[in-house]
Amino acid sequence: MNIESFNEHFLPGLSLEKIEYSSFAGGDFGDLQRVELFRHDKTAVVEFWSSGWLSIYVFDFQKDDTVLNVLLEPFEADKKSAAFTTLKQMFS
């Protein structure tokens, strides 16, 4: 999944209060596109690198703890799919 398909197919079903976008050129894994998701009880950062790397980080304010923190390589499609499923469950 890239940021365009994330915006089109993933975001519409989520319960969110705010979304912020940022991008950075020439990072460790290429150009970076970041999406930050905000809700009263959780926040998440999803990072898409041009080289295919993906990172997802979710912090739960009620638990005062990180509940998801993954960095996935380009070839880990199954793990990426599972991480997005988990993210969707957390923000649905």
pTM to 2 decimal places: 0.94
List pLDDT tens digits, range 49-91.
Answer: 999 999 999 999 999 999 999 999 999 999 999 999 999 999 9
DSSP string, the chain: --HHHIIIIIGGGS--SEEEEEEEEEETTEEEEEEEEE-SSEEEEEEEETTS-EEEEEEETTTTEEEEEEEE-TT-HHHHHHHHHHHHHHH-
Find all residues with CB under 8 Å of 61, minimum gap 6, and list them.
40, 41, 42, 43
Query: Domain coordinates of the chain in residue numbers?
Result: 3-91
Cβ 40 vs Cβ 28: under 8 Å: no
Average pLDDT for 8-18: 91
